[in-house]
Amino acid sequence: MNFESIVALLGGLALFIFGMHLMGEGLQKSAGDKMRTVLAMLTGTPLKATIVGALVTMIVQSSSATTVMVVGFVSAGLMTLPQSIGVIMGANIGTTMTAWIVAANIDEYAYLFVAIGFVMMFFFKKPKIRYVGQIVFAFGVLFVGLNSMGAAMKPLAKSQAFTDIMLQIKNIPILGLLLGAVSTLVIQSSSAAIGVSQALAGTATDAVGTPLISIYQAVPILLGSNIGTTITAALACIGGSRNAKRAAAAHTLFNVVGSIVFMFLLRPFIWLVNSLAGVLGHRIVADANTGIIGMMTPVANSMRESIAISHTLFNVVNTIIWLPLVWLMVKLVTLIVPGEDPIVQKRLAFIDYKVIGSPAVAIGLATQELARMTEIAMQMTRDSQELLLKNHTDELETRISNNENTMDYLENEVVRYLSSIFSSSAVTQEYSARIAGLLHVTNDLERIGDYCCNICESSKEMRAQGLQFSAKALEELDSAFCLIGQMVQDSIAALTTEDPKLVNNIMEMEERIDLLEDDLRASHLDRLSQGLCDPRATVVFLEILHTMERIADHCKNIADFVGSGLNYSVHAGLTGLS
């Protein structure tokens, strides 16, 4: 290949990928923002998750996009691991739609689609028409790129080096598997890699139109592409939760194991592909090099369809095999990524709207949910301490962010639940006061989560600026963190046990935090005057001190609520005795 052919090949590949992504973007816009809701809500069983995954991927035109979305949902606790595995399986089926689009023999109409789509995008004001125009335009660009790749590859027919490579792939299929995996790793799209194979298959080498590569050579490349595409999910889970890493591991396991199994069954698999192609009316002949009947189709367009059939058949059969074994997949990926995440799933554990008519029971359930929120706040406090003072990792940042999102969700749900109880006709004055107090506690807990996120941001800011605290400053912050951690822990116990000793402990510790803030502030300024601390770190140090003081104030508010309930009970008891 000369330089012009190489440029045409790379340009055609760029147009193909751009068209594919632009079409997916247009489809997403026209479908609205419902796909995320569909993914999160309609995946109750692995089978439903598989169907949803396939449909969503057909819309976004990218299994990588769906898989990355799923990894994010699992990391945030919106989706369980079995659900995510089902969606990933479905995504592998949905992504085969691109191969069928390429197989459609409409190359000569590519520029017509580009022109029509352009007019719809730039000469109409209605968003829906413009989105459809984007889809049509991208559809045309995809085929313009495919045509460019096909034209650039025609000289390969006369290249002895390329002929030798194709012969090696035919004789040693594992080379095709490696070629597909590496090429997909480079261009980050299995659909594009398979599209290149279809372009090669559509490039005639002689007068009778024999394809440049046979189906026997294309299938190993296709299987390798399914392995290479797993890198996207692997990259997306970096810094994520363990379950997110397990979802990425499931994607890899699904594709790698399936590809290896199909490599061992390569000849019967290709026979089945050619049989299906024959049902569709394609002419099938014997491959002279392999002696296998139906190993090569002498019609270029039929070869494109045969590759599309191969891609779909592989993913469908692989899914059918794995679907009843999701439980096994979960066990395998749990062994690969051991351990547990201290991340609470974004769901309610205690609240039940059926008991709203019984305020005492409903308030008890709300209190249990708030105790759960306090446990999340405790975990966030510990993570903030470790992040700032001991071990800065992306995983800690992700965990704090995910738990903060969970806190926001729980705050909204608990407030809605408490408001529903408040509007009940069975609520007495005592219950009303209790509900009002719980509403304040809910806000206090959410604010503690926000302050932990602020500490996380301060840590990131210091790392970005290359700042470090002195050893003495770290020691002082550590002592303050330990005191704050004890306050949050006592707040959990106080909410559930209503122990007056815990209430008193929290009050005393809050006073100690106030005094400690003043002492540490003065100590830091003294070090600063002696030139022992970086002046740029002063603002961050003082902000963190104030943040911890605010966390202590919110713990005191919780103790005040528990204490007021105890005082009310004592007063009610004395009134009853009198």
Q: What is the DSSP letter of 293?
A: E
Task: Answer for the pair 205, 157: CB distance below 8 angstroms, yes or no.
Answer: yes
* Cβ count within 10 A of residue 279: 9
Per-residue burial over 119-140, b if 16 or more Cβ lie within 10 Å, else e, is ebbeeeeeeeebbbbbbbbbbb
Q: What is the pLDDT of residue 391?
A: 64
Residues of the chain with pLDDT under 50: 32-33, 204, 206-208, 282-300, 566-578
Query: What one-character-per-residue DSSP string does 319-332 give?
Result: HHHHGGGHHHHHHH
* Dist CA 425 CA 220 (whole Å): 70
* Dist CA 251 CA 88 (whole Å): 6
Of the candidates 383, 397, 381, 437, the residue with the CA atom closest to the CA atom of residue 414: 437
One-letter amino acid of 126: K
Paired with 211 in beta bridges are 204
Q: What is the pLDDT of residue 204?
A: 47
Q: What is the pLDDT of residue 145?
A: 74
Q: What is the DSSP letter of 45?
A: S
For 202-238, how does the pLDDT look when each residue is reduced to its tens digit (9 = 90+)? 554 544 455 556 777 778 888 888 888 777 667 666 6
Q: What is the pLDDT of residue 568?
A: 40
- Structural domains of the chain ordered from first start: 13-336 (no CATH), 357-577 (1.20.58.220)
**Strand intervals (E) in 242-332:** 285-286, 293-296
Of the candidates 430, 431, 427, the residue with the CA atom closest to the CA atom of residue 576: 430
Per-residue burial over 409-424, b if 16 or more Cβ lie within 10 Å, else e, is bbbebbbebbeebbee
* Dist CA 355 CA 253 (whole Å): 45
* Dist CA 406 CA 509 (whole Å): 28
Q: What is the pLDDT of residue 69?
A: 67
